[in-house]
Structures are given as C-alpha cells and as structure tokens.
Amino acid sequence: MTPDKQRPLRADAERNRRLIMDTADRLFAERGAVATLNEIAREAGVGVGTVYRRFPDLQALVDTLFTERFTTFLALAAAAEEHADPGQALRHYLLEAAQWRAGDRALDVILAHADLDARPLAGMRDELGRHVDGLVERAVAAGAVREDFASADVYAYLYMVGAVVDRTHDIAPDAWRRYAEVLMVGFGLEQAPTARTSAMTDAQIRLTWPSPSARLPAD
C-alpha cells in the first residue's frame, strides 16, 4: 500500500489552484459552455503549465468543481431531513435543490461534463442516494405523496426543473418555480394549484428556442 500522504500545496500553488477554479467557473458561467484549459490559463493570468500541472485535463477540473458543489447539495438533503413532517421535508428538499440548481450559472455546464463514476464523486452520489431514499420513504409512509412515488422521481424532477432552468436563466430567472409547483401537484405532494409564479410570455418563450446566440451569450 503506497502511503499517498500528500502534503499540502505550497501557499502560492494553492492560491493559483483556487484562482484557476474560480476563473473556470466564471468562464463557464459567462459563455454557457466549457472553455479550454489554455483559455482558462490566459484569463487567470497564469501559465498553461500551471494549469496542466494541477489539472491533467478538463475532466479533472470539471470533476473538482463539481465535487465542491456537491458538498452543498448533500448538505441540503441532510438539512431537509430535519423537518419533523415527512411531507414538509420532501417538499423543502425539492424546492431547495431546485433553487440551488437555478442559482448557479456554471452548474449546467459542469453537470454536462462531470463524471459521477469518478472517485470522490461516486461516494457522494451514493450518500445522496441514501438521503433521498430516506426522504422518499418517510413521505410515502406518511401518505404525503402518491403512494407509488419513488426515489427515481426525485431525480427526474431535478432533470426536468434543470431543463427549464437552463433555458430560462437569463430570460425569466424564476420561471422554474412554476414547474416545480406543477410537478409537486402532479406527484400529489401539494393539493392546490396556487400558481404562485405565472407563465412566461410569448416573447420570453421565443428566446428559449434553440439558437446559436443562446449558446454563446456575452462576448
């Protein structure tokens, strides 16, 4: 067993590492697409070598960025479990998770390139799975949701809300709330269709259609 007791990075190296991650993050958010490691280096004001030394390729950088975020995401699930009422707990989680998804501009890019089977991510995925299973089991047992509601529905919900978020970021930042509500009603988690958020206008929807300009935003 090789003792991979890797000592901490030198202060300047750690500083650069952070700078590279923050720059990548900003770049991903600004353009809605990944940037090359060379671009990130230029933008961060460090040499390419410095980037490649720390992140062998784009995948490594993306996975690192995602690992950091995933920690927050896990915390949300843990926090939701605090609720005494199982229905509230699940509702709360679904709303917080969607909000997290909506509040992070770089996240869709990162998700599109992450590798959940890669090392520390796989463990976090499994831990998340346990939290979600718990939330779902309790809510179903309490009759707070359709009796056939399953963990898979939570992930599907996130995929669906994510799809709306990705297309409405810049157009109607709160549009996702309407569909989060619709889904919860559909899942029997909420009774009244209260329509807290109204539908997008035709002009707004128009902007969500596929177009190259929607893919390379600021310049």
- Interacting partner of 13 out of DNA, a second copy, none (Cβ under 5 to 8 A depending on kind): DNA
Q: Tell me: does residue 179 bind a second copy (CB under 8 A).
A: yes
The radius of gyration computed from the CA coordinates of the chain, to the nearest angstrom, equals 20
By CB under 8 A, residue 21 contacts a second copy: no
**Is the CB of 83 or the CB of 113 nearer to a second copy?**
113
Asked if 10 interacts with DNA (CB under 7 A), we say yes
List 6, 213, 218, 219, residue binding a second copy (CB under 8 A) = 213
By CB under 7 A, tell whether 23 contacts DNA: no
Hey, which residues between 36 and 95 contact DNA (CB under 7 A)?
A: 36-38, 45-50, 52-54, 56-58
Is 76:96 a contact under the CB 8 Å cutoff? yes
* DSSP, res 189: S
Q: Specify the DSSP class assigned to residue 145.
A: S
Q: Which is nearer to DNA, 7 or 148 (CB)?
A: 7
Task: Give the sign of the dihedral formed by CA 158, CA 137, CA 115, CA 96.
Answer: positive
Contact with a second copy (CB under 8 A): which of 33, 83, 205, 217? 205
Cα 70 from Cα 80, distance rounded (Å): 15
Residues 216 and 34 sit within 8 Å (Cβ to Cβ): no
Find the binder of a second copy among 19, 48, 58, 182 (CB under 8 A).
182
The verdict on 167 binding DNA (CB under 7 A) reads: no
92: closest CA among 78, 84, 80? 80
**CB of 12 or CB of 117, closer to a second copy:** 117
Chosen from a second copy, DNA, none, partner binding at 36 (C-beta under 5 to 8 Å by type): DNA
Query: Per CB under 7 A, which of residues 112..141 are in contact with DNA?
Result: none
Token reading at 216: 């390379």
What's the token pair of residue 49?
A: 């070598």
* Interaction between residue 195 and a second copy (CB under 8 A): yes
CA torsion 29→34→38→42, rounded to 10°? -10
Residue in 149, 169, 216, 217 binding a second copy, rule: CB under 8 A: 149
Give the Cα separation of 118 and 120 in Å (integer): 6
Q: Does 152 bind a second copy (CB under 8 A)?
A: yes
Comparison of 46 and 166: residue with beta carbon closer to a second copy = 166
Rounded Cα–Cα distance for residues 30 and 50 (Å): 23
DSSP code string of 68-92 = HHHHHHHHHHHHHTT-SSHHHHHHH
Residues that bind DNA (CB under 7 A): 7, 9-13, 15-16, 36-38, 45-50, 52-54, 56-58
